[in-house]
Amino acid sequence: MPRTSWSDDNCPIARAADVLGDPWSLLVLREVFMGNNRFDGIKKELRVADNVLSERLRRLIDAAVLTAEPYSAGTRPRKEYRLTAAGTDALPVLHALTVWAQRHTQSPSGKSLRIICTTCGTDSVSGAWCQTCGAAITVANTAWDHPKSPGNFIELASAGARSQHNN
């Protein structure tokens, strides 16, 4: 059954949901923000079927949220997926979902993703700005402390910096 498209809707929430409203798409973005930008790596981390991942990557590329850059590995041509400016601008959406989930859902392990302001080194509780130093939380000044690798901060600036030349 074809998916409903809201790309021509006057409501910006509907248009955003058309691009970012799929759970797999949000998880793919999370992976790319963390520097996991190859098909096999994303597939392994998300434990997703090839056809599902291929479709989500295609949609994100078609929406200009990601680009695909070829690289050589063996005999088959492969691609690395990079954030565009639109992809980088989705960071507050992921942060808003993180903050909402921390407030309204329970993590089975009791651990959660921490959003760190690298300007001052403190946890952000809003996801949009740092309550300690007042800085806006952006790709340039954010790290994530992911529950799968606690204490190993993932600098988002590196994911964003790689994509800047793609625009």
pLDDT > 70 in the chain, percent: 90
Q: DSSP letters along 3-71, please?
A: PP--TT-S-HHHHHHHHH-SHHHHHHHHHHHTT--BHHHHHHHHT--HHHHHHHHHHHHHTTSEEEEEE
Q: Please report the domains of the chain, with CATH numbers, ordered by start residue.
A: 12-83 (1.10.10.10), 88-166 (no CATH)
The pTM assigned to this predicted structure is: 0.87
CA angle, 61 as apex, 58 and 67 as ends, to 5°?
125
* Mean pLDDT in order along the chain per 10 residues (167 residues): 67 93 96 94 97 97 96 82 95 94 91 92 89 93 88 75 41
Task: Summarize pLDDT for 34-50 with one digit per residue, the tens.
Answer: 999 999 999 999 999 99
Angstrom distance (rounded) from CA 125 to CA 5: 33
pLDDT at residue number 165: 37
